[in-house]
Amino acid sequence: MTNIYGYDDWVNMNEDTGNPSIIPDVEYDAAYISDSRKNVAKKIASTGKKLGWTDNAITCMVAEVGRENGWIIDTILKGHKDAANGKSNIGIISWQRDRKEALLKYLKSKGTYDGKNVTNNLITIGHMVEFFYKEMASRDGDTSVMTSSGKT
For residues 109 and 120, what is the distance between their CA atoms, to the nearest angstrom? 16
Please answer whether residues 70 and 64 qualify as being in contact, where contact means their C-beta atoms are separated by less than 8 angstroms: no
For residues 125 and 88, what is the distance between their CA atoms, to the nearest angstrom? 18
- Look up the pTM and report it: 0.74
Q: pLDDT tens digits for the chain (152 residues)?
A: 344 444 444 455 555 545 454 433 333 334 445 678 889 999 999 999 999 998 888 999 999 999 888 899 999 999 999 888 999 999 999 999 999 999 999 999 999 999 999 998 999 999 999 999 998 887 665 555 566 654 43
H/E stretch holding 80: strand 80-81
Within 10 angstroms of residue 114's Cβ, the number of other Cβ atoms is 10
Please answer whether residues 71 and 65 qualify as being in contact, where contact means their C-beta atoms are separated by less than 8 angstroms: yes
Three-state SS for 22?
A: coil
